[in-house]
Each structure stands twice: as C-alpha cells, then as structure tokens.
Structure 1
Amino acid sequence: MKQQKMEKKLKKMRAHFVGIGGIGMSALALLAKDLGWEVYGSNIDRNEIVKEISKKGIKVFIGHSSNNWMDPDVVVVSSAVPKDNPELFKATISNVEIIERLRFFSRLAKDFKVLSVTGTDGKTTTTAMLGHIVQESGYDPTIILGGIHPIFKNYKKGNGKYMVAEIDESDGKFADFSSYASIITNVRYDHLNNYGGRIERYLEHFRNFIMNTSEIMVYNLDDMCEISRKLFNEFRGKLVTFGINSQNADYTAINIFMEKSKSFFDLVAYGSFVGRITVPIPGIHNVYNALSAIALSMELGMEIDAIQQAMKTYKSVDRRFSIRFKDNRKQVYVLDDYAHTPMEIKYTVDTVRKVFEGKKLVAIFQPHRYSRLAMENGRFSYSLLKADEVIITKVYSAYEEEIPGVSAREVHEKLHELGKKTWYVENFDELERKLEAFEKRNTVFLFLGAGDISMFATNWVKKLSPQHK
C-alpha cells in the first residue's frame, strides 16, 4: 500500500488539450510542460503552431477522436470546443476531469505574481510591451501571449517571480482569474452574445475580474463611462489610471508626435514630467498601449531608464501593422493587421493615413463572426470611411452558425450610401480578380480582420508580378 501511494505521489500529472493548436491553448500547454506536466493534445489540422510545439516534444493527434487517448488526469478545453467532441465524451465516461483553459491556467499560475492584461482592444500589444519592459528591467518573467511575437512567439519561460499574461475576456471565463496586478485596456461591449446580450452581465464579469486582482488595477480613464467607472468602487487595492484626454489621469502622454513608423510622447506621472518615450510602432492606440504598460511597470518599482530603453527596442507582434510587401520605387505597400472591431479598424486606418500620407488607401476588410457583425453593423462602415476604396469580403464565421439576415453585404451597402467607392466579394477567387484590376502604384493595400484574410494577403503578395517587387 505504501509503495502504491509513493508511486502515485511521484507520478507526473498528464493533461490532454483539445484544440492544442490554438494560440492560447498552445501557450498553456507549453507552460504546463515546463512546470512538469506530461502534455499531449489534438487539433483539427497540422497548423504552424502544431508543428512548433511538436518540435518541443508535445505529441499532437490530428483530428478529433475518442482514440486520441493517453489516460490523462485532466482534459483541458476552450469555449471553441463543441460539446459533442468525441474526446469530451471519452473523458466523461472515463470519469476524467474536464476543465476550462483559464481555470487550468489559474492552477498553473498559483505560484507566480501574475500581471494580467484584459479588455476589448489592445490586449496582445499591451501584454507584449509589458512583458518586454519587465524582461529588460531584469525580472525574467514568464510570458503568455495571444499573438506571435518575433522573439518569444506566444510563450516565454522565465525564472522570475512575475508572469505577464494576456487574459481573454470574450467568453466570460476571465471573471474568476486571480491576478497580482492587472491592466484593463478598454471596455467596449464586444462578444455580448456570450453574455446573453446583456450589458449589465458583461460588466458584472469585469467587476468580478477586478475583485480577483489583489494589489494594483490599471485602467483607461479616457475609455470609462460613468457606468464602467462604478466597477472599481469596491476594489481594495491601488487604483491607477492612464489616459491622454483625461487631465486627472495618474499617467498621461503629452506632446504626442508621430514620424514615419514611430510614436513619441512625454510621460507625465502624478502631475510631474518623467521622461520622453519612443514607441517604435505608429498610432495613437499604441500610445495608449504603451502608457498602460509603463504605468503598471512604474507602480511595480521599475526604473524609468530601463522602461525607456525597453520601449525603444520593442518589437511588434505579428499582424499588428505588419508590412508584408513594399516597393519603394513604385510606392506600393501591402499591410496586414488583426484589427476586427470598429475602434481598432478606425485607429488602424487613421494610422495608415498618417504614415503613408498622400498614398491611395485600399482597405480589404473581412468581418469576423456573425454575432459581432449583428451587434456592430453601421459602426464598421464609419470606421472605414477614411479609406479611398473598400473591399468587403464574406464573414469569417470562426465556427459560429450563420445568423439569418446578417451579412457583410450590409457593410458594403452602408459604405455605398455614404458615398464611398466599395465592392463586396463572396470568396477569395473573386477578391484576387478584383485586386488584379488595381494599378500597383502609389497605393497602400490594407488587409483587416482576425480570420483567414491574413493567409490570403500572405499568398497574394507572393503572386505579385516581378516588376512590382
């Protein structure tokens, strides 16, 4: 009996990840592996992430089947996994715990001081900036990111006390996640379909997230309406605000200046000038992102010299104003950006206008999710107005069922009403034919969306004729 107890105690815990090829699930799987778990999983296809984690010793079954089974102690899932997945059925009949990914993440993160970043827009960039600052300040953090960074990808193993983590707010599971300190970038009522369409329920989840942060809460004073500000009334830690337009914010940016692909501003903290900040990516939205990351870093006691140097050397996450192609002679540029909410799109279009002043701007937008389009239609059209010409593609469903009466054509039709030159295309073949008709001179082609429009952009630039390269 003692021998059996000893063997059980020494046995490594084993986790089965359903959909391990996702950006968040793969990072969590790598973290679990580094913390001593045996990790394996399944994925619908062998994507680039699966190829990478396979190289790191994680077994991945391609396709979903009850045969993908290695007697795990837990099965980890995300909200994207359908209830009828055969691996979930296998776990149920085998009496194996099924755990949602953020709850499993909480278990893994219990020995870290977790610095969380959540909110509607800007989470990934802010997390990457914060992680880089903490790294350059000498703390060697573990980093969990919802995007691909050019250096540490979506996961970095650290040996320090801090974990910098992007926390997805889309399905409400974030409400129970515990953090040492947190940033809320903004609150813009996205994914309301996952909250029963009720704003009060959506805000209640944010309130719970706030209450599960123990020490420091950093939030965007410019973004907060009167209702949103009430979320912080019961918080017992230190509240820290940042903003550009709010004069009474604790941290603010003044004398903002943008030149080519960089942003510059003077940092003011609690009414006193601190230093000049250089951000090597353009856009007022990235000033906000930098400001929030800097605010939390300073509250944690990090030195301004290290922060300034970290910001100067920051490298952008993939699909955040990524230039896929450029021909300086003919002044032709192809940009790929993850922007998929109205405010993100507006910021990105405004930034392109400033960086590529005088160039014709052709925006190609793929709406992401029928539920978002149903909630946001109208606002998308206005966010694209500063483009010269706009191509709208069919909705990328992200596994959602089509909603009757909801179509990307509505964005196209509204743009047409507003006097914008616009087209709607039903598929990528049609999109490619439409793009071929444009003159490849003095033009920026901006691809926008969180779906497979990025893959199209990558393939399209490969097909550009040699004289355009």
Structure 2
Amino acid sequence: MGIGGIGMSAFARLLAARGLRVSGCDAQSSELTAQLTSEGILVAQHHDAAHITAQPYGRVDVLVASEAVPKDHPEVLAALAAGVRVQPRMSLLDELLSAGPSIGVIGTHGKTTTTSMIAIAMQGAGLDPAAFVGGIVPEFGSNARVGAGPFVAEVDESDRAFALLGCETAVFTNAEDDHVGGNIATYWNTVEEQHAGFARFVSQSRRVLACADWPGLEELTGGAPEQLTYGQAQGADYRAVNVRPDPDGTAFTVTWQGQELGEARVGLPGTHNVLNALAALAVTHLYGGNFEAAATALAAFRGPGRRWQHIGTARGEAGGALVVDDYAHNATKVAAAVQAARQTGRRVRVVFQPHRYLRTQQSWPRLADALMDADEVLLLDIAAASEDPIEGIHATLISGRMTDNGHGGVTYMPDRAEVVRYVRESAQPADIIVTMGAGDVWKLAREVVALDSAEVSA
C-alpha cells in the first residue's frame, strides 16, 4: 500500500529483483508509479479491498503497509479476514537488514545523502552493495540498487518502529528534535523518547560509526559492542584533515587512527557533505573496499535528487544564475544549505517554503536565524502536509524576525507565479538561487529554468 512513496517503491524494486511477485496501489498516479509499471511491477490506482478479495494481480500472501495506515482501513481488514499476513514496512526493512551484512544509516540529518554516498563509494571500490535510499540516486536511476551485498539502508526515525531494528554497522550522523510531537501517528512524543530510540537501534547493532563532531552522540552509543567515530574532531577514528573548500566542493585528506588513507573530494559544497563523504569512505574501508577507487567514485557524485540538485540556469534578462534545489526544511539543514551556497562565492538567493504548521510553530525563530546569512530570502506560505492550520502560525513570523534582526532582503511572497517572474527577471550571472523545503517548492526551480521536471538532469 502506498507503493508510489519513496520508501515503498524502493521495497517493491528490491523484492521484485529477488524474484518475488510484487504489486501495489497508491491514491494517485505519479512519475514513480509510472516507472514501477515500466519495470514490470503492477500498480493500481486508489486503495480498494478488492485488491485482496478479487485478487486482480493474483494471490496475495503478504500485504505491506506503513504504520501510518489505519488498522481499520478496508484493505487491511480484507487482508486480515482472508488470512493474509499484514506486515509493517519497518518489519520488512528489519528482514532485509538481518539477511546478511548490513549498514543502517540513522540520524536526524543527512541520511539520504550519506546512504547514497556509501552505496556509490562501495560500488566504486569494487563491492556490490544493495541499497535502499529515501531519494533518487542518479547513478542508479532509482531509489534502490540491487546487489549481492552488503545491504545499505536509510533508516528513518520519523517512524517509531525503527527503534525495534538493528544492523551490522549503524552509521549515526546526528540527533536533533525533528519528527517530534503533533498528531502524526508515527512521530515521537518527546525528543528524549526519540533519542532513546536511536540508542536502542545502536545497542541492537554489532557496531556503531558515529559522528564525533556532533555533541551528545557519545551518550547514545554506549550500548554498541564496538564503537567507532568519524569527523574533523581530534581523536576521531576516521578524520577529515587539511580540508580545502572551493566553489564547487571540498578536497580533504582522510586518516584512520592517525594513519593517512589518502586524498578525497566531495563535489558538493558544505562541511556537512565532507562529513557525509567521510562516513561513506569509512564504511567502505571497514568492508575492505579499495580507498582510492571509492574516493574517485565519490568525487564524481553530485548528490541524490532534491539534495543540492543542480536544476539549470535561470534565463532572466541578464541570465546565467545557477538554480539549485534542496530538501532543507529544518533549521540545521537550512543553515547547512545556506553555508553551502555561500561556499560557491555567489550572491545567495533563497526561496524557502516552511514545512508543516507544527514544525514551524516549534522552530520558526531558529529557521529565521538559519536564513540570516542568505543575501535575499523569498518566503512562501507554509506547506501544510495534511496538517490543520495552527492559529497565529504563519510564514511571516520568520520574515518578521529576520527583519527585526536587521536583514534587509527578506520578502513574504505567497504568489508563486510572482516568485517565478521576479526571480527570472532579476537573475544575475553571479547569483545562486536555491529553492528549499520539503514541500513542493521544487516545482518553482523547474519553472524558473523553464524546463519540464522530466527533463531536469540530476
């Protein structure tokens, strides 16, 4: 159920590649469901108990549904009545992680990029990883890679059931207060509960590779039988030293417990991407991959979809502005994306769409502060993501705080057509225009460069 989702579609691909007969359904058709159909995976539009009772695609043995699907959903009830096993998606991920050597990437930020980088580095190093990614990896043309293993997976803490899982190597990027509170069934009640979930996952894994640069992680990793660290911090097992940023990325040297492994480069700007790449090189080293070959593969990697994705050039009167789209939607991710944009040396212009009323209520001051280093900020209305509005919570809270703190270039601009027109007309060759948010702000980036999304190169 929900086969058009980024996670469910990856499951479908991995299971089909293993020779299982896979079909699915989703509320609406999309580019992803069309791709699945072209790959031979049968997809029905809408949810219907008839998918079980009438069995349009043959006998159903297992119905996979996310924990967000109501237990009294007609399709779920039909499965239970027919004796069909209803399996939560996290239970399915647990089976895949337990089947052999596995790497589970956990943390509040950077999971999709880090998971992608691990798979890319391993493949480049001569290994044959399988991968489950929460985004499209251009090199795979998919959100999944079929391989003999190890299996590398993005493990999303937005689903509380992740805490029941474990793996061989847990890569722990960071821990903050995202996916906490509200009326979403799978979210955490408190940040303390969420962090306890991280600690439990780690304790159920054979070893943890944790970011030494993120304060407080050591308090959550004590349960792992083997503990390793990565980062720029003194004492990290895997270190990035002699870090040399430039407009297009960052070069650095990698050491392992004081011994130099070699030179590396990440073709994405920002310190956070140095850490993501370092984690990927560390994992590849742990699994016996060739370091130099892994570093070469990573240097050519330009990121998964919606993670610092180059969309094209704004064709304004002056033209030549670089247009990038990024999934940044909480304060830490927004600050990292702004810092990455600054590293390019261009004038930084951000189109930001706040995501969810509750998240905005919880963090609008931090979002405002994270955007202060941008030269110009255009604010869209909040993307509700099925939430009901909260009285008094509005995008202008962010713009108001920025103005009060002395920013002279922030504008609330809810008319999306006006945003596209203004950005295209004012684009300059020295600009970088970054659309940010977890909603549908990505569509504006494509409109600005006047390309259909299917034509956009990742």
Distance 2:177 2:195 in 1: 8
- Percent of pairs identical after alignment? 31
Which of 197, 200, 208 is 1:208 aligned to? 200
Q: Which residue of 1 aligns with 2:130?
A: 142
Distance 1:463 1:155 in 2: 26
- Equivalent pair of 2:252/2:265 in contact (CA under 8 Å): yes
AA aligned opposite 1:323: H
Mean Cα displacement is larger for which, 396-405 or 28-37?
396-405
Question: Per the alignment, in what secondary structure is the counterpart of residue 243 of structure 2?
Answer: strand
2:455 corresponds to which residue? none
The secondary structure found in structure 1 opposite 2:434 is: strand
Partner amino acid, structure 1, of 2:214:
D
Using the TM superposition, name which of 420-429 and 265-274 deviates more.
420-429
Q: Which moved more, 1:72-81 or 1:323-332?
A: 323-332
Partner residue of 1:3? Answer: none
* 1:418-457 per-position Cα deviation (integer Å, ceiling 9, x unaligned): 2222222335335335546635554322100111111232
Q: Comparing 366-375 with 76-85, which one deviates more in the overlay?
A: 76-85
For the Cα contact (< 8 Å) 2:312–2:324, is it kept in 1? yes
Find the counterpart in structure 2 of residue 260 from structure 1.
Answer: 247
Is contact 2:244–2:250 with CA below 8 Å preserved after alignment? yes
1:250-399 alignment, distance < 5 Å: 250-326=237-313, 330-355=319-344, 357=345, 359-399=346-386
| Residue type of the alignment partner of 1:213 | S
1:423 aligned partner, one-letter code: T
Contact 1:32 1:108 in 2 (8 A): no
Offset from partner CA, 1:196-239 (integer Å, 9 cap, x none): 4322211111111101212x2100111132xx422222222x21
Secondary structure of the residue aligned to 2:158 is coil
5 Å-filtered alignment, 1:414-453, equals: 414-420=401-407, 421-435=409-423, 438=426, 440=428, 442-453=430-441
Residue matched to 1:23: 6
Distance 1:366 1:262, change over 3 A: same
Mapping for residues 68-217 of structure 1, pairs under 5 Å: 68-69=51-52, 70=55, 71-82=59-70, 85-152=73-140, 153-158=142-147, 160-193=148-181, 194-214=186-206, 216-217=207-208
Q: Alpha-carbon deviation of 1:463?
A: 7.3
C-alpha distance in structure 2 between counterparts of 1:319 and 1:339, whole Å: 9
1:408 aligns with 2:395: yes
The 2-side partners of 1:403 and 1:89 are apart by: 33
Matched-pair contact (CA < 8 Å) for 1:365–1:390: yes
Per the alignment, residue 51 of structure 1 pairs with 34
The separation in 1 between residues aligned to 2:429 and 2:245, in whole angstroms, is 25
The residue correspondences of 1:230-245 to structure 2 (distance < 5 A) are: 230-236=219-225, 238-244=226-232
Segment of structure 1 superposing worse, 314-323 or 47-56: 314-323
- Post-superposition shift, 1:389? 1.5
Cα distance in structure 1, aligned partners of 2:380 and 2:353? 5
Distance 2:34 2:146 in 1: 19
How many angstroms does 1:195 deviate by? 5.0
Query: What's the CA shift for 1:354?
Result: 1.7
CA change 1:77–1:408 in 2 (3 A) is: farther
1:40 equivalenced with 2:23 (yes/no): yes
Are residues 353 and 401 of structure 1, via their aligned partners in 2, closer, same or farther at CA, if it must alter by over 3 Å?
A: same
Which 5+ residue runs of structure 2 have no aligned equivalent? 453-458
User: C-alpha deviations, 1:318-376, integer Å up to 9, x for none?
Assistant: 22222212269744221111111211111111111121x2x432211111222322222
How many Å apart are 1:383 and its aligned residue?
0.7
The CA distance in 1 between the partners of 2:235 and 2:443, in whole Å, is 43
Q: What value does the CA root-mean-square deviation take over the aligned residues? A: 2.2
Secondary structure of 2:50's match? coil
Relative to structure 1, the CA distance from residue 331 to residue 100 in structure 2 (aligned partners, 3 Å threshold; closer, same or farther) is same
In structure 2, the CA distance between the partners of 1:183 and 1:40, relative to structure 1 (3 Å rule), is same
**Partner in structure 1 of residue 215 of structure 2:** 224
In the superposition, the TM-score normalised over structure 2's length comes to: 0.90
Once residues 62 and 177 of structure 1 are traced to their aligned partners in structure 2, the CA distance between those partners, rounded to angstroms, is 31
For normalisation by structure 1, the TM-score amounts to 0.88
Aligned residues: 439
Cα 1:396/1:51, change in 2 over 3 Å: same
Between the aligned partners of 2:66 and 2:422, the Cα distance in structure 1 is 37
Q: Is the CA contact 1:324–1:335 (under 8 Å) kept in the aligned structure 2?
A: yes
CA, structure 1 residues 446+314, in 2 after alignment: closer, same or farther (shift >3 Å)?
A: closer
Task: Specify every segment of 5 or more residues in structure 1 that has no aligned partner in the other structure, as ranges.
Answer: 1-17, 465-469
How far off is 1:96 after superposition?
Answer: 2.9
- TM-aligned CA distance change 1:331 to 1:427, over 3 Å: closer
The code of the aligned residue for 1:211 comes to: S
Task: Supply the distance in 2 between the matched residues of 1:98 and 1:374 (Cα, whole angstroms).
Answer: 36
SS in 2 for 1:267: strand
Query: Counterpart amino acid of 1:312?
Result: A
Structure 1 letter corresponding to 2:196: E
